[in-house]
Chain A
Amino acid sequence: MTLIHDTRYLFMRSLKKLIRNPILLFFSLFQPIIFLLLFTQLFSKFASIPDFPAESYLAFATPGILLQNAFSSALQSGTSIVDDLDSGYLHKMLVTPVSRSAILLGRLTSDAFRVTIQSLIILGLAYLLGTSVVTGIGGLLLILATIAFFGLAWSGISLAIGLRTKNSESVFGIGAFLTFPLLFMSTALTPLSFMPEWIQNVSNFNPISYTVNAVRALMLNGYEWNTIIAAYAVIGLIAVLTLGATLYLFRKVIN
């Protein structure tokens, strides 16, 4: 009971802080929107290459851009915990009986909520540009859930880095360092068959590929359950690792 009660108020706090700092929202949405508007134009001829697996490059790349958006907003999760550590607010909470788990849960639930809203914005823009979800509302909800789940697993990385280094620059630095290689060496922006062999090999082990394949299936083809279940298994594994690390480091910080 206390856990739900406290999580609710900490969730609200995170959202209020986010809405009142629109610059943060702008920064995390800026890149995906540039990709959506410019990158997809730049590569639009891709679609005319034989064997391209989608009608347009926009339709193909939108799932990848959704993932990129989840990446960049998850990065801010780690910096927010560093902010609370730096300002002393975390310890101000710790001298009250507030549920310790709620401090992390409030953070994570607000991250998931935020990435869902941002995904809707991107999907809305993509729709205006001419691509839609073939699986309809059910598929849309599953896409949002998949992205949110992926975002949570990724928040775990940035939270862990934040708790370990206690430094916002490190969170951004390490985050950016991870983001682009992982994104480019996955099926997020390029079909597997178009890649050189060595990148194909990397891509086959890249969790981004699994996630993006599931989202892409839901957007373009239909409910391909094998792909979807594989994605959830991979994200689940990452979540266990990253959130486990976060929990461990959080316990160390609060003791």
Chain B
Amino acid sequence: MRKNLALAACLFAVFAMLALSGCGSKEEVMADPTEDLGTTEDVGAISGDDLPLADVSDDTIYIEPASSVFADIYFEFDQYNILPQDEAVLQRIANWLRENDQVRVMIEGHCDERGTNEYNMALGEQRALAARRYLVGLGVGAARLGTVSYGEEQPLDPRSSEDAWSKNRRAHFVVSE
């Protein structure tokens, strides 16, 4: 059952990516539906005549910079389940990681100040692990994804307000080669 879910997530990932890139340079992918959909690198061999993007050479695909892909994702108070609004972020991260297969990512789990210091250390790890599980479900190799909990040790916003707390309950992605 879990395996099926992972496979479904994987397929969904690929379709979502294809859909997103539908109007850009990767149109050719759709021209060959027999392509193995599991690897995106295959879209590289495309003829370059009518490419609209001047800075993309014939045999490369456009890669978003890591900084715009690896956005933080957020969590409810005392919870570590992935929220629907963050699924697209994780999707983009998974896509990017499949295209940059030398990159490793450390996922940091953070909490707001309201739990106990001690339990927040466990909760932060669960947040990082939840993001990791989701990315693995989208086909990213588990060995490339590390986790670390910072508990409530490194708030983005040190104030004690709903606004600050909601920013601090996050998973943050640190990319390393």
Real complex partners, A and B? no
Please list the residues of chain A having a beta carbon within 8 angstroms of any beta carbon in chain B: none
